[in-house]
Amino acid sequence: WILFESACFVLMAQANVFVLFTLVLCCNLGSALANGPPTGIKEEWFTQYLDHFNFRHTSTFKQRYFVYDSYWNKKGPVFFYPGNEASVTLFVNHTGLIWENAQSFNALVIFAEHRFFGKSMPPNWKANLDYLSVEQAMADFSVLLTDVLKAQFNTTPADTPVIAFGGSYGGMLAAWMRMKYPNIIRGSIAASAPILLPDGDGVNPEMFYRIVTQDATPQVGGASAKCVPNVRNAFKELFKQGKTAMGRSQLSKLFNLCTPLQTTSDVLALATWLQGGIATIGQADYPYPCSYFANGVALLPAWPMRVACDFMTQEANLLIGLRNAAGVLYNVTHNQKCYNWKGSSGPGQIDGYLWGYIQCTEVVAPFSTNGVQDMFWNQPWNLTATQEACKQTYGVVGRPNWAHVQFGGVGSVKQMLSNVVFSNGQLDPWRAGGIDFSVPERNVTALVIEQSAHHMDLMFSNPKDPPSVVKARQFELGQIRRWVKR
């Protein structure tokens, strides 16, 4: 598998400043894993309608998907991955829970790429952004499953149970597809799926960064007790020095920035960029070296938050410590000549732009900090500023209540949803928007996996996996067996 690059972006609006910062970097992990997907996986193409909900609109595009049928005995289920906001090869390469268990289930394996991402790009895509939506993507997946199973394998989802697997946004899609298309999806493993975050149903917008902060404590993340106060004080010093032209010049040199800081808005953007790096390290807090969050070019160290905190406690100059802490991610290759704090570049830049559109329209997720219960600074959630930034960037203003109207939030999970496992890592800040309750009578289970980071349970097994992750995978496989037998 060749290297692919992608990014997940979170929209931050504060003091009329709008910043896109990378939270997830995607990569090819093949060289970092003892295990990997089997050989012989087939790349296929499927013709999709650009608009499934307008019968006068007949434009189409080619959607890419991958199929592996060597394990299938015509009696086993379908293991299906609805692609996230990146090339589908990323998920083919990393979803070890599927590959390590498909043979024992005699499963047919299908990975489908999300419209507008990877190679599933409609013609003239910028002019067709109106068709980039959660609803259109789920319709793509449902049509593809129905038609491919019939045409290639002479079966149907009614006769051959389809189990959806997904992590992060893919986990949201897996859960929502079970809700919207129960005739297609028999059950779902929704890992690190913050389905309540855009819904806002009881979610505290400050929790994301509180969890990042908890990861930097000795009690939760095994980090130095000095880490949290030192990070908080480093940001205070950053803003203090950033008030003057001389201070900004000194900061530009100290942080080795490719583009010098010119204004206080630049200082805020730099701070948000640093904050994004630390948040990513929190998500990537795996107990083994891993390149999943390092864009495939190098390995992040084991327990990277502890490593970042070591810089914050061993360096007398807190700003240098902050630079080096964020550099655990941003200088993972150890060859950065300067830091491009203004944003990403390369193939992942388009993916980031497209994901930003989804966040501006349907997945409008609030984030804030208060600088007291977290290690950052006061950043109240500002919907008006976010919508204005979305309008300037994409020409659209999102509908914050749409996710609740469309999917129903807590009420739908309790009353309508069935056959879903929602798993969340204790160390993963995205659990702030995840489901934290079970509905046993509807076969809905919520797991909080101790010492686990972002959808770690979906990844290939590793000798350093904590027992909690191993136990979670065993539970998920047990649930799949129950769903398949029904």
Q: Which residues are catalytic?
A: 168, 428, 454
Question: How far apart (Å, rounded) are the C-alpha atoms in residues 188 and 456?
Answer: 16
Count Cα neighbours of 207 within 13 Å in the Cβ-side half-sphere. 18
Q: Are 430 and 208 in contact (CB under 8 A)?
A: yes
DSSP 282-332: HHT--SS-B-TTTTTSSPBPSSHHHHHHHHHHH-SSHHHHHHHHHHHHHTT
Question: How far apart (Å, rounded) are the C-alpha atoms in residues 300 and 292?
Answer: 8
Question: How far apart (Å, rounded) are the C-alpha atoms in residues 242 and 377?
Answer: 14
Angle, vertex CA 388, rays to CA 12 and CA 260, nearest 5: 55
DSSP state of 129: G
The two tokens of residue 43 are 């790349």
* Beta strands at 378-379 and 162-167: parallel, antiparallel or unpaired: unpaired
DSSP state of 24: E
With a CB cutoff of 8 Å and minimum separation 6, the contacts of 267 are 238, 239, 242, 248, 251, 261
Phi, psi (deg, nearest 5) at residue 363: -95, 65
